[in-house]
Amino acid sequence: MAYKHTNSKGVTYYLNSKNVTLRGGKSQTIYYFSKDDRKDTGTDLPSDRVVNENPRNGFLTLKRK
Among residues 5, 6, 7, 8, which one has the least CA distance to residue 43? 5
CA atoms of 27 and 4, how far apart (whole Å): 25
pLDDT for position 11: 96
- Average pLDDT on 37-57 reads 95
Find all residues with CB under 8 Å of 39, minimum gap 6, and list them.
none
User: Which residue ranges make up each domain of the chain?
Assistant: 4-64
Residues 23-36 pLDDT 10s: 999 999 999 999 99
pLDDT of the residue at 1: 75
The mean pLDDT of 37-49, rounded to a whole number, is 94
Predicted TM-score of the model (pTM): 0.89
